[in-house]
Each structure stands twice: as structure tokens, then as C-alpha cells.
């Protein structure tokens, strides 16, 4: 193998051999990527990208998700600052979920990741 891909020579990343597991696992991006890689996260983010929704609306629109898993997913996204939970002072209280500014900033990257694999390949292998 020549060490190149599409004409770009491969180079070692400076200090790549010095990254320890502790550094990797404590990097903020690691947790974010882990969260985005969870099974239900992309579906929740995509629905909330269109408009704010209540819990039951999300539960109805995401086929196959349990209430417990939706609760865990929403709590995790809220803890990561990607989703905002708004409680309205009604009787009974109503709760609405929406994307935060940080959550919205991830939409272009999430959209690119969710493209069909053959569409991504076609973009990277143009003649």
C-alpha cells in the first residue's frame, strides 16, 4: 500500500501516540459522539428539529421506543445541553421539549451523517 488515499499523503497526527484512555474518555467530544450514536437520539433530534413536542407526541411518532427509553434519551439530551425541557404552569402541568441552540448547531452534521451511505460515497468518489 502506498500510504496515500485519493492523492493525499498520510501523515502521523502529532502526539497521537501519546493520547491515553483517560484523555480520550474525558474529552467533551467523546461524550457527545457517544450520545449521538445512541439508537434513539437521531430520531428525537430530527423530530425536535421540525418543532417542539410534548412527550406523548414524541412517543407516538417514534415507532418502537418504550416510554422508559424515551425518558432516558430526553434526560440525557437535556443533561448534554442539546434539548430544553419547558414546564408550563397548567393543571395538570404540561411539558414540552425543544432543541437548544447547541442542539440546533449540530443539525448540519447530523444530517450529513444520516445520509444514505451510497450518497456519501458518491460525494467522496467524484471523478
Q: Which residues of the chain are under the pLDDT cut of 70?
A: 1-28, 30-31, 37, 116-127
Bond preceding residue 92 cis, omega within 30 of 0 = yes
Number of folded domains in the chain? 1
Whether 101 and 114 have beta carbons less than 8 Å apart is answered as no
What's the confidence (pLDDT) of residue 101? 96
The answer as to whether 58 is a domain residue is yes
At residue 36, the pLDDT reads 77
Q: Is residue 85 part of a domain?
A: yes
**What is the DSSP track for 24-70?**
HHHSHHHHHHHHHTSSSHHHHHHHHHH--EEHHHHHHHSTT--HHHH
Domain-located, residue 45: yes
Whether pTM > 0.85 for this model: the answer is no
**What residues make up the domain containing 107?**
40-127
The pLDDT score that the predictor gives to residue 119 is 62
What pLDDT score does 47 carry?
95
- Whole-number pLDDT of residue 17: 60
Q: Does residue 108 sit within a domain?
A: yes
Q: At what angle do helices 28-36 and 41-50 cross, to 10 degrees?
A: 80
CA atoms within 13 A on the CB side of 127: 0
pLDDT at residue 55, rounded to an integer: 96
Q: What is the CATH number of the domain that holds 116?
A: 1.10.10.10
Residue 61: inside a domain? yes
Q: Check residue 38 and give its pLDDT.
A: 77
What's the pLDDT score for residue 74? Answer: 97
Whether 3 maps to a domain, the answer reads no
- At residue 71, the 3 state secondary structure works out as helix
Is residue 7 domain-resident?
no
Does 62 fall in a domain?
A: yes
Amino acid at each position: 500500500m502506498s500510504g496515500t488515499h485519493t492523492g493525499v499523503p498520510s501523515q502521523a497526527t502529532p502526539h497521537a501516540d501519546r493520547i491515553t484512555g483517560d484523555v480520550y474518555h474525558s474529552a467533551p467530544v467523546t461524550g457527545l459522539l457517544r450520545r449521538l450514536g445512541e439508537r434513539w437520539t437521531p430520531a428525537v433530534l430530527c423530530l425536535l428539529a421540525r418543532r417542539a413536542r410534548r412527550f406523548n407526541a414524541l412517543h407516538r411518532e417514534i415507532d418502537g421506543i418504550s416510554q422508559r427509553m424515551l425518558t432516558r434519551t430526553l434526560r440525557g439530551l437535556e443533561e448534554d445541553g442539546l434539548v430544553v425541557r419547558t414546564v408550563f404552569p397548567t393543571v395538570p402541568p404540561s411539558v414540552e421539549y425543544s432543541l437548544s441552540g447547541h442542539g440546533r448547531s449540530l443539525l448540519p452534521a447530523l444530517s450529513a451523517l444520516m445520509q444514505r451511505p451510497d450518497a456519501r460515497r458518491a460525494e467522496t468518489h467524484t471523478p
